[in-house]
Structure 1
Amino acid sequence: MADTFVKVNANNGNKRSHENGVVESKDAKKLQKYSNGNDHHNVDPAAALADVRHEFGEHGGVNMSIEPSATYTVMEPDHLRQMFVGERGPHTDSFVYSRHFNPTVLNLSRKLAALEGTEAAYGTASGMSAIACALLQLLNCGGHLVASSTLYGGTHSLIEHFLARTCNITATFVDIADLEEVENAIVEGKTKVLYFESMANPSLKVSNIPELARIGHKKGVTVVVDNTFAPMVISPARLGADVVIHSLTKFISGGGDIIAGAVCGTKSFVNSLMDLQQGGVMLLGPTMNAKVAFEISERIPHLAIRMKEHSRRALEYATRLKKLGIKVLYPGLEDHPQHELLKSIGNKEYGFGGILCIDVGSAAKANQVMNYLQNYSQFGFMAVSLGYYETLISCSGSSTSSEMNEEEQKRAGITPGLVRISVGYVGTLEQKWSQLEKAVTKFNLENEKKEK
């Protein structure tokens, strides 16, 4: 009886690909029709997540079991050979080594694929490893990519310095909002990747994903989008992107206690990443721990609720700060250059994201304001990262974008006094606003703005 119960839960109607074992989202075929950007508002990411099979525990627990094994036994000696030549694998409930495939990570991957509307996905040890593996899989030595000039500092350094030094991969950085510049930068037959962020770090410039995807596909390149800043808010694959990257460390985890990443895309692309002889994830080894995969899987069901509250509070703070005369960057404000764009491509009911920026004029003033907000008013923490339930505050130019030189920062829209605020949801909105307003008053930020 026990054996039968376990067997039923192991299969449980799971729909699997027969290509090297990538587990396909149950709803992949239904979601696939939205991958070209048509009627993307008809798919609510929360509904797509709810349609994924719930994985029960080994003994019937409402939470799935964790498979922490590094290696796996086989029942017959020849099974090992069969797994290494692809005859067996996750598609036959056969596993060999967790650097390749792990059942718990695969369960999380199904949810990530449903969230983003892709055929498949796979978790990695960090967001940077997801970016690096995806780019190395798509680009050969001496290759070329076109990338947004406004990227997370680590991503910019990876492309501009590390890949250039180690692989002779060259990049052309463009204003991603200038579609003509983007198209002119793509060299047909040479450029292989168009890379940008759905919502730029930290400028909050919103990318016109449908048009960028159209341009990229017309030129024959793979369109890769980092959606770390906007899970649930924007669905790049449903708008035409080929590959979607996440740092799961941020909003998707939400607890500030996990480092993880993910690559979402077609079955063939995810399979290529896991290939025994040519796979970037398989061979470079940024393996997601099964316990981490379990933790993230348990947090995804309330991601929609969290994102809505992050967005609600960010919009309220941004609106009130603007009324006080502060220079605010937030795509939810009507004067933001891409406000209407985000309204048109964003998923309904998820707002405009949980991050806003204020420009206080100088790095010195930014440090004073941040010090007060953490150590006196208790509005938030001076810390990098984002998506935490507490508010996180940082001066981007001297922290997460410090890898970029002065000219690169200027081109990316990063001023010395730009303070990035990842809006949390602890406490009441009025309580936290009062703490923020005190800093505005104490440092006369509204007066400085009016005098300029």
Structure 2
Amino acid sequence: MAQAMAPVAASDLVTLKRPFQSDGFGEENGGGGGIADEKPRARRRESDPAAALAAARHEFGEHGGVNMSIEASATFTVMEPDTMRRLFAGELGPDRGDMYIYSRHFNPTVLALGRQMAALEGTEAAYCTASGMSAISSVLMQLVGAGGHVVASRCLYGGTHALLSRFLPRTSGVTATFVDVDDEAAVRAAVRPGQTRVVYVETVSNPTLAVADIPMLARVAHEAGAKLVVDNTFTPVIVSPARLGADVVVHSVSKFISGGADIIAGAICGPASLVNSMMDLMEGALMLLGPTMNAKVAFELSERLPHLPLRMQEHSRRALAFATRMQGLGLRVVYPGLPDHPHHARLGAMGNQGYGFGGMLCVDMGTEDRANRLMHHLQNTTQFGLMAVSLGYYETLMSCSGNSTSSEMPPEDRARAGISPGLVRMSVGYNGTLEQRWAQFERALALMQPPTPQAHHLKVAAADRDAAAADNHRKH
């Protein structure tokens, strides 16, 4: 991205040349401006994420390859000295002459992935980052500012909770109020007029799988002059928060979007003016913190995005089948696709048709010990899945959230959020056949059951016989 350096006083703001057309977001007060009435073109053109992805600009390789080339350069050369001046003056850039300066600013391959992410989420622009947490922290630092206030869901990924409850208060005086975001009155009561800058939620909460009422939260946030930021990591393709009123959508791209458990990446999707403000030379969080995505990572991800809708459909199909059968066995199952989930109808109404209810489910085993024993058998005895954090892999991944991905939360906060000590979070994969995997689950569950009285009697009798035989052998 080129920098606009006009011959002005040193005290004047120096900004980067902006490659995206703006809708007016963030034009005032460092990101607090209003949103124009006109909807971004991507939202008007295609409402289905798969169709929007297919309609996005296709990048071809340098020599006509069907796949784009990887621009792995950190810096970019110019043919004439005056071109460098014009780049820094904003007369040339990615949008003017297809010219670049330095890959921490903008890189052609990463920008191409950003266009795909914007199409996926139905936003005007997107910027891809080195991790999901870098995307979340950069957005919050840009929008909230020193001394600002955030209203946040009581149940969030542990790292996000720690960022809002510990790191940002210590480093920039940001305060956060955690509430039950399903309670509109509680959300409204938590808003501090003139101070609340962001309402922050996850589309489907990690790990309790509560579904946020995005249209309601957008209405409350906007009436308070705040922005609604939604983490859509659990439900890419399934839900499009920006089309429901969210101002900014963030992702840990490492999860379902990547699908291979081999890449760490993030994304910020929103109005062009937000991305432009975050790339400001003097005040932009992305420019100054530098959470830059590697071009080779961007290329890998761009090749996986076209398959994402198909993968999400199968994740959802398997998760619904397992949740239904687990519930039939009498287990305490949490899955938004089950009719008795309190937000089943909500997700059905908000979701994009044809993609199901997601690949995440929870089984509450009551105690940490029972949760650990079940996971032990599922991995080490029957090979149903893997004990690992993260999600979105083709193998089923499982973890006890209370002692892993939610461990940053104090015990009392976990209790208020409804995170049971025995809650097993499962990211349901699609490897193998459904019946093969279900048989593996049933075998592991059977090993959790205590032996029947007759089986116990036979086991004791056999042990007595073995002891008598051993004693007789010693006598001889």
Aligned residues: 419
Indicate the residue corresponding to 2:151 in structure 1. Answer: 146
Residue 183 of structure 1 is aligned with which of 173, 184, 188? 188
Indicate the residue corresponding to 1:12 in structure 2. Answer: none
* Partner Cα separation in structure 1 for residue 384 and residue 184 of structure 2: 39
* Partner Cα separation in structure 1 for residue 223 and residue 90 of structure 2: 34
CA contact (8 A) 2:126 2:267 kept: yes
Work out whether 1:390 is the aligned partner of 2:395.
yes
Larger Rg belongs to: 2
Residue 89 of structure 2 is aligned with which of 80, 85, 90? 85
1:80 Cα shift?
A: 2.3
Residue 30 of structure 1 is aligned with which of 31, 35, 41? 41
1:23 Cα shift?
A: 8.2
CA contact (8 A) 1:22 1:90 kept: no
* Partner Cα separation in structure 1 for residue 322 and residue 301 of structure 2: 29
Indicate the residue corresponding to 1:124 in structure 2. Answer: 129
1:139 Cα shift?
A: 1.4
- 1:303-347 per-residue CA deviation (whole Å, 9 max, x = no partner) reads 000000000000000000001100000000011010000011011
1:272 Cα shift?
A: 0.8
Residue 70 of structure 1 is aligned with which of 53, 71, 74? 74
- 1:427-447 per-residue CA deviation (whole Å, 9 max, x = no partner) reads 0000001111112222139x9
CA contact (8 A) 1:23 1:90 kept: no
What pairs up with 1:234-313 in 2 under 5 angstroms? 234-313=239-318
- 1:99-154 per-residue CA deviation (whole Å, 9 max, x = no partner) reads 11000000000000000000000100000000000000001111111110110000
* Partner Cα separation in structure 1 for residue 67 and residue 183 of structure 2: 47
* Partner Cα separation in structure 1 for residue 285 and residue 224 of structure 2: 25
1:275 Cα shift?
A: 1.3
Deviating more after overlay: 336-345 vs 74-83: 74-83
How large is the Cα RMSD of the aligned pairs? 1.6
CA contact (8 A) 2:377 2:447 kept: no
1:362 Cα shift?
A: 0.7
* Partner Cα separation in structure 1 for residue 211 and residue 243 of structure 2: 16
Instruction: Give 5+ residue unaligned stretches, structure 2.
Output: 1-15, 23-38, 453-476
> How does the TM-score come out when normalised to structure 2?
0.86
* Partner Cα separation in structure 2 for residue 110 and residue 232 of structure 1: 15
- 1:320-378 per-residue CA deviation (whole Å, 9 max, x = no partner) reads 00011000000000110100000110110000000000000111111111111111100
Work out whether 1:352 is the aligned partner of 2:357.
yes
Residue 420 of structure 1 is aligned with which of 400, 420, 425? 425
Aligned-residue sequence identity (percent) comes to 63
Q: Secondary structure at the match of 1:145?
A: strand
* Partner Cα separation in structure 2 for residue 213 and residue 441 of structure 1: 46
Indicate the residue corresponding to 1:21 in structure 2. Answer: 19
CA contact (8 A) 1:71 1:97 kept: yes
1:19 Cα shift?
A: 5.9
Indicate the residue corresponding to 2:34 in structure 1. Answer: none
What pairs up with 1:44-59 in 2 under 5 angstroms? 44-59=48-63
* Partner Cα separation in structure 2 for residue 382 and residue 330 of structure 1: 20
Q: Secondary structure at the match of 1:181?
A: helix
1:87 Cα shift?
A: 2.6
Instruction: Give 5+ residue unaligned stretches, structure 1.
Output: 1-17, 35-41, 448-452
* Partner Cα separation in structure 1 for residue 328 and residue 63 of structure 2: 57
Q: Secondary structure at the match of 1:43?
A: coil
Which runs of 4 or more aligned residues in structure 1 lie more than 4 Å from their structure 2 counterparts after TM superposition? none
